[in-house]
Amino acid sequence: MCGRYSFAVEDALILERFGLRVRTAIYKARYNCSPTQNLAVIAGDAPDTLKFFRWGLIPSWAKEPSIGNKLINARAESLAEKPSFRDAFRHRRCLVPATGFYEWKSNAGKTPFHFRLKSGDPFCFAGLWDKWISGDGEIIHSFTVITTSPNQLVEHIHDRMPVILSREDELRWIAPQADPSLADLLRPYAAEKMEAWPVSKLVNAPKNDVPEILDRVEESGF
């Protein structure tokens, strides 16, 4: 499961890395991206625009938007079969920009760890999105982060990890025409290109969205 991540970069770096301009009135650095929040995505229908969708997929056929609270992640192994995800997998794929993600070690204190690329560069999770319209005409765009089995680094902490796409595969993932081999992209990212460290339990509360969350804390055995 991926239940928290960070996307904390300067506007200029977003332009350099993704080729997108953003308005500072909309975008700000985020250190504790949490479910139900409106967060940055790059959708296949507008690859030149940074959009902000709610984290937690609400399928178009859902009766209530609350279903999104249970659909923050989608397992890569069952995307093509699950009613909540199969249509989005075919037609509504997105990129979820990030600079790192958090997982909790199953020890007595449930220690949170921050994972990122060793280069420190931003990257993208593979995601799916959908548009839900209520009976009153309210429109909610939402997304989910796809997860897969863990690599050798993450497996010490958790049994799942978000799918991190290689930079060269990002446009292929959101291309309008679904490539039958897209499922091949949904694999664990190379462990040797990643690093991790224990961080403050400040991350446990969504209201805490400050740089100090990323500071290393003492943790033995990792």
CB 191 within 8 A of CB 152: yes
Out of 2, 33, 94, 124, the active site residue is: 2
Q: Of 71, 67, 2, which is closest to residue 34 (Cα–Cα)?
A: 2
pLDDT digits (tens, 9 = 90+) for 161-197: 999 999 999 999 999 876 767 889 999 999 999 999 9
Count CA within 13 A, CB hemisphere, residue 115. 32
- From the candidates 33, 94, 103, 124, give the one annotated as an active-site residue: 103
Residues 138-169 pLDDT 10s? 999 999 999 999 999 999 999 999 999 999 99
The CA distance from 67 to 160, in Å, is 22
Q: CA nearest 72: which of 90, 96, 91?
A: 96
**Domains in the chain, number:** 1
Residues 23-36 have a mean pLDDT of 84
- Is residue 2 flagged as an active site residue? yes
120 in any annotated domain = yes
Task: Judge whether 192 counts as a catalytic residue.
Answer: no
Query: Are residues 87 and 169 in contact, defined by beta-carbon separation less than 8 angstroms?
Result: no
CATH at residue 122? 3.90.1680.10
* Domain range enclosing 178: 5-214
- Token duo for residue 105: 């070690």
Backbone angles phi, psi at 40, to 5 degrees: -70, 135
pTM for the full predicted model: 0.94
> Looking at residue 181, what is its pLDDT?
79
Higher pLDDT, 132 or 45: 132
Q: Does residue 108 lie within any of the structural domains?
A: yes
Tokens 């999770």 belong to 125
Q: What is the CA radius of gyration of the chain?
A: 17
